[in-house]
Amino acid sequence: MSNSRPSVNFFREILGQIQVLIYLKTALQVGRLAHAYLFLGPEGVGKASTARALAAALNCESLREDGDACGRCPSCRRLAAGTHPDYLEIFPTSEGRQPQIKIERIRDLRRLTAYPPLGGGWRVVLIKPAEALNDAAANALLKTLEEPPEQNLLVLTAGVEDNLFPTVVSRCQKLAFTPLPLPLIRDELARRGAEPAQAGLLAALSGGSLARALALNYDEMVEKRRQVLADLEQLADGNTAPLLDWAQRLAKQAGEAEAFLGLAALWHRDLILLGQGAPAELLANRDCLPEMEAACRRQRPGVWFRRFAAIAAAQRHLRANLNPELTLDFLGLHLRGGPTP
Ligand SMILES: [Zn+2]
């Protein structure tokens, strides 16, 4: 299975995001596209791919009936090869502490957009992510947004608009991208050669982001899950000292607590589903079916519900920036206790 990011160039290759695509194709067909768009949504759900597909459709020499680019004309071929002169991507440079898009890049952009697109069609410029624009760069970009040059279209991407200059946001048309449905990610992973059990687990852990699903390593996740199950078993023994050690160990490393909670939540969710008689295809951990069936025989369903609620509460607390060690201590106390009558 390939771990590389998908190279998507056309609307028809984009997973989900149906409303955004209908809107863009319609706007394109009736000639009502805005000069600047702000694509909002989580990482890895198709924002940059949609910008590329939009550039392809805007410059295609024989647009298909469904509003998508043909994929065969010289413009489409150049775009797919990454050599289209009128499609540009501006990314942050990572010198210094934080990756930033600096004012020089925006000045270059302003100089370029003073001239018409080389191919005679539309120039599309992707700025990804807009959060990386430093103050000077955002101010310089504002001038371009205020006096949009003809035949130029800017696409900015961001997670949420809160971290952007309100003046920049107000001059862009906002389009909301949503996390992808898990079955869509699972099927895409399978299409790229993943086994059903692999695709199921990775999709369930992806949070609706295809990029994250592709970046996850199945063997690593299986090893992590083994550790999580060992930890859960030890916590259930009920001794306080190992519990505190566990909380301290997880809290020390960034991301470890979230990873633990994600896998633990998924495991308990599966146990609840299995207890309700759900088919194995719905389980993220279907490769552990015998183990899960044995666990279901040992415990009453109410136990899984209570533990799942405690894990979900800990996830909320971590997201709200509560102290990780305290959150995990508290969770550990909720997870302890062996079989209940
Ligand atoms: Zn074409």
Total number of domains in the chain: 3
CA 77–ligand 1 middle distance (angstroms): 7
Could you tell me which residues are beta bridge partners of residue 95?
none
Query: 57 C-alpha to center of ligand 1: Å?
Result: 7
Indicate whether 4 pLDDT > 50: no
The answer on pLDDT for 338 being more than 70 is no
Measured in Å, residue 17 CA sits from the centre of ligand 1 at 22
How many angstroms does the Cα of residue 214 sit away from the middle of ligand 1? 29
Query: Distance (Å, rounded) from C-alpha 284 to C-alpha 202?
Result: 8
Is the pLDDT at 270 greater than 50? The verdict is: yes
Query: What is the Å distance from ligand 1's center to 26 Cα?
Result: 18
Beta partners for residue 175, in sequence order: 39
Q: What is the pLDDT of residue 339?
A: 47
Is 221 part of any domain?
yes
Looking at the structure, tell me whether residues 225 and 202 fall in a common domain. Answer: no
Length of the chain: 341
* Cα 127 to middle of ligand 1, angstroms: 24
Mean pLDDT, range 171-187, rounded to an integer: 95
Same domain for 193 and 69: no
**Separation of CA 58 and ligand 1 centre (Å):** 9
Let me know if residue 3 belongs to a domain: no
Domain-located, residue 5:
no
Ligand 1 centroid to 179 CA: how many Å? 29
CB-based neighbours (< 5 A) of ligand 1, an ion: 60, 69-70, 73, 76
Environment class of 243 (CB within 10 Å of its CB; exposed 0-12, middle 13-18, buried 19+): buried
Report the CATH number that the domain containing residue 267 is assigned in CATH: 1.20.272
Cα 151 to ligand 1 centroid, rounded to whole Å:
18
Cβ-based neighbour number of residue 150 at 10 Å: 10
Are 266 and 250 in the same domain?
yes
**What is the C-alpha to C-alpha distance for residues 19 and 174, in angstroms, rounded to an integer?**
13
Neighbouring C-beta atoms of residue 170, cutoff 10 Å: 12
Give the sign of the dihedral formed by CA 315, CA 319, CA 324, CA 326: negative
* Res 305 pLDDT > 80: yes
- Please give the torsion angle defined by the CA atoms of residues 47, 50, 52 and 53, in that order, rounded to the nearest 10 degrees: 170
Q: What is the mean pLDDT of residues 58-67?
A: 94
Residue 340 resides in a domain: no
CATH of the domain at 98: 3.40.50.300
Instruction: Give the pLDDT of residue 1.
Output: 41
**pTM for the whole structure:** 0.82
pLDDT at 96: 67
Q: Does 306 reside within a domain?
A: yes
CA-nearest of 211, 212, 319, 322 to 265 is 319
Q: Are residues 81 and 160 in the same domain?
A: yes
How far apart are alpha carbons 35 and 51 in whole angstroms?
13
* Shared-domain flag, residues 290 and 267: yes
Please tell me whether residues 120 and 19 are part of one structural domain.
yes
Task: Say whether both 328 and 209 belong to one domain.
Answer: no
Of 157, 176, 195, which residue constitutes the final position of a domain?
A: 176
Task: Tell me the CA–centroid distance for residue 21 and ligand 1, in Å.
Answer: 18
Which residue among 193, 216, 239 closes a domain?
A: 216
Considering the domain architecture, whether residues 228 and 298 belong to the same structural domain is answered as yes
Residue 6 included in any domain: no
**295 burial class (0-12, 13-18, 19+ CB within 10 angstroms)?**
buried
Whether 123 is covered by a domain: the verdict is yes
> 83: CA distance to ligand 1 center in Å?
14
Q: In which domain, by residue range, is 52 found? A: 11-176
CA of 262 from ligand 1 middle (Å) equals 43
Assess whether 144 and 202 both reside in one domain: no
